[in-house]
Structure 1
Amino acid sequence: MTSYRRVYIAGATYFFTVNPANRDTTLLVDRIDALRDAIGYTRRRHPFAIDTMTVMPEHIHAVWTLPPADADHSLRWRLIKTWFSRHMPQGERRRGVVRVHDWPFSTFHRDMKQGLLAPDWGGVMTARYDGAFGERG
């Protein structure tokens, strides 16, 4: 079992990278509506602001800000993961997207519409992602 060291500061802004146990899956994007429902379910019970979030086939990057008197980001992720897991079929094949602009499941599009980012922000990914990073890579 992985041993995590977590910081809990009420009202703080946190960066997360979260992935399913099986990294060879596309469930996060194949079932994006279920993921949105899981996040909505959690936010109704334990509010937080999503500053930015990108969902890829096998992992999520997110920046959240918690309410001023609340530091429990672990509870929120546990609720999201539990709700999502209960609504999942078996995974399918992985997809490849090479530009941020091409990726539909990102707050990039919101920020671009607000003039915060250019459509070509981030350039083009030239190397194929192989999933070999983090504590399991």
Structure 2
Amino acid sequence: MADMEKLLQSVEEARNSRDYAPLCQHIPYARKIGMSCQSDSEGALFLLPGSEKNIGNPMLPAIHGGVVGGFMEMAAAAHLMLFMDEPRTPKMIDFSLDYLRSSRVVDTFARCEVVRQGNRVANVMIKAWQADPSAPVAIGRAHFKLSHR
């Protein structure tokens, strides 16, 4: 439980300072894939750096689809914690992902939108792209159960 309290404290600090960078350091999978987050004029922008360690198909080469999916799932959860009314720990109910094109080994970005947040459930849409936001490599939808503090 101490790790969860540290995470929620990090979320509170990020919300207050609008410095989202330290938040990803509290999520082990985010650290493993090199994910980061920054504040910008539209809210939060998530980054998965182009890295050889994330390659799934060396023949193309392309980022492993599971890494892209995990990045988008982590982005949705972090975004929800940052922008929901009260920071709580979301638990994944459902995650749907559409791969639209191959993810080359270059920086991949994601932006999320909370479509609806109720008392118990929240819905988040995620779009991931590389060079051009109008040409996403994947889009996703996530549903989370919201825990009570």
Q: TM-score, normalised by structure 1?
A: 0.29
Greater percentage in strand: 2
Q: Which has the higher contact order (CA 8 A, sep 6+)?
A: 1
Larger radius of gyration: 1
